[in-house]
């Protein structure tokens, strides 16, 4: 009798081989493609806190006031596709309560517009595409993928330089755990500004180029380990003016012991980090492992069925080959 492979056995064998081929593709091609900085990002993060700022109307520093920092990040998709890098336009405004909602950035205490360009795989800075300012470091609006428990060089736009952030353990934000990094900025001269001399104690000089100084009493960033997304940020900025050559602050432009992501911003960042992290985990571990396991099982079953085949009816005898027996 003949043995023929059934359609089911061939299907199972084909499906098993397909899954075995799919597993390495997920690991070596699909997962690396997914682990890239997005170019179509459009997010807004908001910090709030209490502090002091220089009120130009009252011509003095006022204290105990609510301070809000709003950062909007939008990806330039066309330029990103053209360059092959992540090109983000970043608008940051610092507002007092009276200037919110910030319909006009010129009403803000401080407003900056920057253009960030990074390598989509490594998160390293790429100096092209009208980047401004020229920045450095390895962590910025996000950290690299697969964050390690070590120190990172984080770019501080107000400082105009990098700050060392040390790994400080794990911390939960809205029930979601991330890596905590901490750092500080000692008082550093960051520029100069023309102001009335009397403002910095130089009453004999009508206008003077005062020195701008910046420090940060505490930078705390909580980062999702797999994606590098910042799920909470808290800073303690201080900006002052000094008379030329002086070692003492004359005017406080802005100061807060702590401004931090609002609860709404935390929840949104956690939601995005959790979804992206689960997707990467699926592509890097669960899916390939499942494909290998399922592929081995289906291939084995299919091979067994192919070898065993399916029994068919016996062939009819060939009457032309038969001879008549003598009686």
Q: Split the chain (327 residues) into runs of 10 and give each run's mean pLDDT.
A: 58 53 51 74 95 89 94 95 95 85 72 93 92 91 95 95 97 97 97 92 90 97 96 97 94 95 97 89 58 54 59 50 47
Largest interatomic CA distance in the chain: 148
Residue 109 confidence (pLDDT): 85
Residue 297 confidence (pLDDT): 55
- Give the span between the Cα atoms of 270 and 178, in whole angstroms: 10
Q: Tell me the pTM.
A: 0.79
Give the pLDDT score at 158.
93
- The stretches of the chain forming alpha helices (DSSP H) are 7-25, 31-34, 77-83, 263-281, 287-308
CA–CA distances in Å: residue 102 to residues 83, 94, 114, 288 = 33, 9, 18, 48
Distance of CA 139 to the CA centre of its chain: 9
Q: What is the pLDDT of residue 8?
A: 62
């Amino acid at each position: 009798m003949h043995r023929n492979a059934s359609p089911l056995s061939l299907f199972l064998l084909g499906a098993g081989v397909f899954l075995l081929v799919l597993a390495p593709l997920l690991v070596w091609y699909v997962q690396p493609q997914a682990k890239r900085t997005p170019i179509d990002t459009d997010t807004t993060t908001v910090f709030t806190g209490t502090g002091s700022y220089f009120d130009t109307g009252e011509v003095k520093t006022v204290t105990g006031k609510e301070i809000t920092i709003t950062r909007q990040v939008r990806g330039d998709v066309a330029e990103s596709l053209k360059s092959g890098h992540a090109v983000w336009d970043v608008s940051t405004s610092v507002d007092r309560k009276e200037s919110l909602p910030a319909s006009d950035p010129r009403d803000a205490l401080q407003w900056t517009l920057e253009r960030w360009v990074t390598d989509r795989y490594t998160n390293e800075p790429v100096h092209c595409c009208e980047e401004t300012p020229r920045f450095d470091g390895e962590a910025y609006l996000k950290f690299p993928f697969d964050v390690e428990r070590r120190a990172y060089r984080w770019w501080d736009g107000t400082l105009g330089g990098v700050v060392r952030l040390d790994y400080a353990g794990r911390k939960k934000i809205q029930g979601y755990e991330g890596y905590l990094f901490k750092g500080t900025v000692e008082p550093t001269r960051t520029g100069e500004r023309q102001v009335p001399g009397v403002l910095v104690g130089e009453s004999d000089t009508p206008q003077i180029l005062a020195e701008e100084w910046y420090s940060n009493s505490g930078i705390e960033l909580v980062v999702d380990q797999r994606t590098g997304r910042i799920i909470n940020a808290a800073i303690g900025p201080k900006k002052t003016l000094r008379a030329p050559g002086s070692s003492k602050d004359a005017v406080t432009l802005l100061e807060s012991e702590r401004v931090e992501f609002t609860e709404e911003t935390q929840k949104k960042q956690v939601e995005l980090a959790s979804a992206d992290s689960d997707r990467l985990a699926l592509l890097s571990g669960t899916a390939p492992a499942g494909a290998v396991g399922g592929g081995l099982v289906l291939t084995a079953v299919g091979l067994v069925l192919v070898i065993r085949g399916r029994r068919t009816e016996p062939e009819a005898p060939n009457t032309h080959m038969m001879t008549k027996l003598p009686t």
